Chains A and B, each alone.
Chain A
């Protein structure tokens, strides 16, 4: 089991698995509704030219989110799993 970190620190082109969603209120609900649930695999596609936001692939769809929001998503590396 690799170490847990938050999505804002993820490298481009990395493959990850969500472990938990922290955060509160509307932002948390919106993340859950968009499919950020524990166990879901996500891929980091790219960082924007000015480093923020990040584009990810989740459940076959592409989403952009800010690093400050990505902080509320804890992940582990899912490479080769």
Chain B
């Protein structure tokens, strides 16, 4: 007989290391399935441990079971869809008292739980000692301390999960006793309850009482917190030390040095990305260029038809080579960005910038999705989930598409360095970045016309202690990102380079006669307003599915071989710097890539947002292109 499967809901405050824990947990067991609920947005992973199926559902970080945020609503929706066998609460040892508040609410609701005490090692460093045996006694539920997540801890955890699910653990859940008048109201509410599927009758009655009036709400929350405080006092000793976090924050949040330091950090992020990745990108480009030459040289001799040789050398090798050139950039940007984010510095950035953002009615946290957009617009859109108000989310989603992502930045850096000497190149890049920031600001103003201000979005954020992310986690994340990029090459770039090659090779004859040239020439009158020739127009069109294909297209159109010099030299010889600049302005702004447009639809759950994004960005890019070209002509 197969044992009964077990469902586990992972609950916890934001920032307690829930996801790391979740990954390690499911990584140590055999994963047999992985899916996200469409209506609940909660992701479930099925594992097999000791021949028993255990489904873990990772829920968003919450402070309590109210409806005070998007995360709480999502969690509640999931918990209403079916009671989990085991509620597992991940607790941050650095912040025991507040985390226990949620534990007490879980116990009130389910009368059972497994508590995982996370970040024990960091707590020790901060002079915090927690007696987890005592804590388990006080709470009346199993408490499992996690130092390093290894096999033994995971095995303990599964044993406890089974014990709680099967009812073999002698559960004595802590019960919060409220003041007399509250208890009377709770008893009365309990009496009139009809439905108790979503949790214990007592919890539902407490919830109902809490909603009756503000005074009762304060009493209930205060009583729970008083209990959390008493439990903490009995099992925790804290020897305060001047922590590294305090020392760093003295400078990082300093009245005069905080903001300049932040600018240095971001400048360093981009500098590192480009200086480290450039030689690597060039190396990859050279390898593919040689590969193309060898193909052209030897394959005809082996009886391969000329069309096939051209398809391989001019289409596939050229296209894939140009795209793979971005790989180092994406990997390095993501690595350094993850370091800034996971270390806790990004919260400081939000703290420093909130006043600026609130001046245009935005939340300081919006800085996070907008900066993430510079890595990949999809990251930006996904990161905008941290924002609670509809207005902030819309601005974050639409605004982050104006952040030139690492693929676009790659093309931009390539073109800028081909056309301008290094000092001027830096200024041009900064100018382009300034345009992207202005467009984000413009987005904030435009969205205001359509979304009326609701309840003020608040900026109440934890300021976590700094920690050095584990190299393993950083590398795994970076690896996953890089693989995702390679995956896209297979799906998009492969086809688009073959299509581009086909359109530019057929019908046979001179290149100006090819299909692609004809498409570009038809559109040339439009391009003339912004000074773009048909080659550049074709590059823009081909960049729609994936932005980096624009460069691939130019590579194919301008037929680069090792004799003609690299693409940069060929381009610099064919078009003027002003044309190149105008092209970049348009290129940076027009239509986020297809994958981004699809993500907008998925996140906002309506097509109109995706359409607005595409339409708006095309219009803005044309206006900016006209401005750049016509104004530039006056000066050059």
Contacts and interface: CB of A to CB of B under 8 A. Distances in A.
B125 to A, nearest CB: 15
Contacts of B222: 37-39
Contact of B354 (A33, A46, A66): A66
A35 B460 CA distance: 12
Interface in A41-71: 46-53, 55, 59-66, 68-69
A28 B463 CA distance: 20
B271 to A, nearest CB: 24
Contact of A32 (B221, B238, B256, B364): B221
B108 to A, nearest CB: 14
A80 interface: no
Contact of A35 (B66, B98, B355, B461): B98
Interface in A5-40: 20-21, 25-35, 37-40
B629 interface: no
Given A52-B355, A65-B460, A69-B459, A29 B218 contact: no
Contact of A34 (B98, B214, B459): B98
Contacts of A37: 218, 221-222, 225
Nearest to A26: B68
A63 B218 contact: no
Contact of A50 (B67, B350, B356): B356
Most central of A20, A39, A62, A68 by chain B CB within 10 Å: A62
B460 A52 contact: no
A32 B217 contact: yes
Nearest to A25: B455
Contact of A30 (B68, B96, B229, B347): B68
Given A29-B66, A62-B463, A49 B259 contact: yes
Contacts of B68: 26-27, 29-30, 33
Interface string B216-245: 011001100100010000000010000000
B364 A53 contact: yes
A53 B363 CA distance: 11
A48 B351 contact: yes
B69 A30 contact: yes
Nearest to B260: A49
Interface residues of A, number: 36
B20 interface: no
A64 B463 contact: yes
Contact of B460 (A40, A49, A69): A69
Interface size class for chain B?
35 or more
A68 B459 CA distance: 10
A66 B63 contact: no
B110 interface: no
Contacts of A69: 458-460
Interface string B254-278: 1110110000000000000000000
Contact of A55 (B67, B101, B364, B463): B463
A60 B95 contact: yes
B64 A33 contact: yes
Nearest to A12: B255
A63 B462 contact: yes
Contacts of B96: 60
Contacts of A38: 218, 222
B253 A55 contact: yes
B358 A59 contact: no
B548 interface: no
A39 B222 CA distance: 9
Nearest to B224: A37
A55 B246 CA distance: 12
B154 interface: no
A46 B253 contact: yes
A48 B355 contact: yes
B97 interface: yes
A59 B462 CA distance: 12
Given A49-B256, A55-B253, A59-B98, A33 B458 contact: no
B48 interface: no
B456 interface: yes
Contacts of B351: 48, 53, 55, 64
B95 A61 contact: yes
A49 B263 CA distance: 14
A48 B328 CA distance: 36
Contacts of B618: none
Contact of A49 (B63, B95, B258, B461): B258
A67 to B, nearest CB: 10
B459 A59 contact: no
A74 B222 CA distance: 16
B571 interface: no
B95 A27 contact: no
B489 interface: no
B97 A35 contact: yes
Contacts of B354: 48, 52-53, 64, 66
Contacts of B355: 48, 50-53
Interface string B322-361: 0000000000000000000000000100111011101000
Contacts of A50: 352, 355-356
B97 A60 contact: yes
Nearest to B65: A33
A27 B463 contact: no
A63 B238 CA distance: 19
Given A48-B253, A48-B355, A49-B259, A33 B462 contact: no
A66 B98 contact: no
A68 to B, nearest CB: 7
A52 B459 CA distance: 10
Given A66-B354, A66-B358, 4 more contacts: A33-B101, A37-B221, A52-B358, A64-B351
Interface of A: 20-21, 25-35, 37-40, 46-53, 55, 59-66, 68-69
5 contacts: A26-B68, A37-B222, A62-B464, A65-B458, A69-B458
Sorted from nearest, which 3 A-B pairs have the closest CB atoms?
A50-B355, A33-B63, A62-B463
